[in-house]
Amino acid sequence: MTIPGAWRRTARGAGLLAADGTVAASIFAEMSALAARTGAINLGQGFPNEDGPSEVLEAARAAISDGVNQYPPGRGLPVLREAIARHQHRFYGLGADPETEVLVTAGATEALAATILALLEPGDEVVTFEPFYDAYGALIALGGGVHRTVRLRAPDFQPDLDELRATVSDRTRLIIVNNPHNPTGAVFPAETLALIVQLAERHDAVIVTDEVYEHLTFGVAHIPIATIPGAGARTVTISSGGKTFNTTGWKIGWLTAPAPLVTAILAVKQFLTYVNGAPFQPAIAVGLDLPDSFYTGIAADLRFKRDVLERGLAAAGFTVSRPQGSYFIVADAAPLGYPDGADFCRALPGLAGVVAVPIAAFCSPEHRPEYASLVRFAYCKRVDVLERASEQLAGLTARA
């Protein structure tokens, strides 16, 4: 698709258009299209290939039948806002007033977009970890911000705390945290989160935390940064029903934050989507009230899947990191003789009938060389699919 010149300027300024004026597809869209074209197993884009809890699906069907089909209120249906507040209290002991401190959004993506556009002045600095989820870079650019990063390095992808101290300054307006982390699967410990809060307080920055994988950690507790003393007053906590309930296509997300921050974000959000997904909102509310056994079950299930794919990748000759959470595992293709992950991912459907995503796609151009041979595989897929992918990947050594 080509966009006419007059419309191109801002998107191009933000680096979102290719030089020829075409829309550069996101790496996820590109790799899913590659999987569809080649029939390869799609371990690229992070979406589950089986349905989530039937109670949640049934509640959406019932809501449609019951006529929940018109615009919901701008902040979201009260039944969902109340369920979000209950969830924050039940799992984390956090209080959130459903009237003023909770906002329902079109996925975590809109929560991020509205937050960044609402709170950033052009020229403000935004600190993220790197590799970073691709939307962060694009949204910071759209908001006119200056993106600074703190690098996460193999094998454990934990930040160097001195580098973090050196990166946050009085110019920092937002610190964006993603925990558990996409694409590395890192889960940040209390010490790291406490330093982020300390730095945010010292430099008067707002913390924006993307916790869409909050229920998907393996043997380590997820600590919402908002629970760290001092954080609550300056933190926007973002999550989504997509990963927890296997409903990535529903795009029901939310944020919780102090009332004045929610008001500022709502002022932007009302002109992005205004509202979305009326019948899905009460269904996600049903999900948030599911018993603890559901939540422990999804983490155990995903942990098993991680182990299947980790074993498969290691047996195929990759050096693999061990993710503590999220949908993703990072594998180094260099030991197999592939120093460039992007080339490797383009060739992988032909080599092994599998699709993955290069980690370089989550990096700024100047830091890509550091991550060049790393690729991300998604394990949020049925076990039989992960086993088949592992068998196919086992043939790589023979070809290398």
Which residues bind to ligand PMP, rule: CB under 6 A? 46, 107-109, 133, 178, 182, 210, 212, 240, 242, 248, 251, 253
Sheet strand arrangement including 102-106: 102-106, 252-256, 235-240, 206-210, 172-178, 125-130, 146-151
Residue 242's binding partner out of ligand PMP, ligand GLN, none, with CB under 5 to 8 Å set by partner kind:
ligand PMP
d(CA 207, CA 201): 10
Shorter beta-carbon distance to ligand GLN: residue 72 or 358: 358
- Smallest distance from the beta carbon of 120 to ligand GLN, in angstroms? 21
237 binding ligand GLN? (CB under 6 A): no
Instruction: Based on the shown chain and the rule CB under 6 A, indicate whether residue 45 belongs to the binding site for ligand GLN.
Output: yes
Query: Is residue 335 classed as helix, strand or coil in its secondary structure?
Result: helix
Among the listed residues 207, 221, 227, 255, the one whose alpha carbon sits nearest the alpha carbon of residue 101: 255
Strands 252-256 and 125-130: unpaired
Q: Please report whether residue 244 would count as binding ligand GLN according to CB under 6 A.
A: no
Tell me if 105 contacts ligand GLN by CB under 6 A.
Answer: no
Nearest to ligand GLN of 46, 287 (CB atom):
46
Paired tokens of 353: 């009938």
By C-beta, is 134 or 340 nearer to ligand GLN?
Answer: 134
Query: Among ligand PMP, ligand GLN, none, what does residue 240 contact (CB within 5–8 Å per kind)?
Result: ligand PMP
CB 246 within 8 A of CB 50: yes
Nearer to ligand PMP, 309 or 396 (CB): 309
Question: 45 is in the binding site of which of ligand PMP, ligand GLN, none (Cβ under 5 to 8 A by kind)?
Answer: ligand GLN
Regarding 239 and contact with ligand GLN (CB under 6 A), the answer is: no
Q: Does 46 bind ligand GLN (CB under 6 A)?
A: yes
Closest distance to ligand GLN from the beta carbon of 381 (Å): 12
Verify binding: residue 364, ligand GLN, rule CB under 6 A. Answer: no
DSSP 359: G
Site string for ligand GLN, 22-41 (x = CB under 6 A): ----x-x-------------
Q: Interface with ligand GLN includes 324 (CB under 6 A)?
A: no
Helix (H) / strand (E) element for 352: namely: helix 341-352
114 touches 135 (CB < 8 A): no
Using Cβ positions, the residue closest to ligand PMP within the complex turns out to be: 107
Looking at the Cβ atoms of 244 and 392, the one nearer to ligand PMP is: 244
Residue 359, CA distances (Å) to 12, 116, 193, 374 in order: 23, 24, 24, 6
Beta carbon nearer to ligand PMP, 245 or 338: 245
What is the helix (H) or strand (E) element at residue 354, kind and residue range?
strand 354-355
Q: What is the DSSP letter of 175?
A: E
Closer residue to ligand PMP, CB minimum distance, 240 or 321 = 240
Q: Which amino acid is at 254?
A: W
CB of 28 to ligand GLN, least distance (A): 3
Smallest gap from residue 363 Cβ to ligand GLN (A):
14
Bridge partners, 114 (sequence order): none
Q: Residue 41: which residues within 8 A CB-CB, separation 6 or more?
A: 35, 353, 354, 355, 381, 385, 388, 389, 392
Nearer to ligand PMP, 142 or 336 (CB): 142
Collect all residues with Cβ–Cβ distance below 8 Å to 296 and sequence separation of at least 6: none
**354, β-bridge pairs:** 41
Minimal distance in Å, beta carbon 307 to ligand PMP? 21
**C-beta of residue 167 within 8 angstroms of C-beta of residue 199:** no
Instruction: Judge contact between 152 and 186, C-beta under 8 A.
Output: yes
Cα 31 from Cα 215, distance rounded (Å) = 26
CA gyration radius, the chain: 21
Q: Pick the binder of ligand GLN from 115, 149, 182, 184 (CB under 6 A).
A: 182
Partner interacting with residue 26 (select from ligand PMP, ligand GLN, none; CB below 5-8 Å by kind): ligand GLN
Q: Give least dist CB 52 to ligand GLN, A.
A: 16
Taking the least distance from each CB to ligand PMP, the nearer of 210 and 332 is 210
Q: Which residues bind ligand GLN (CB under 6 A)?
A: 26, 28, 45-46, 182
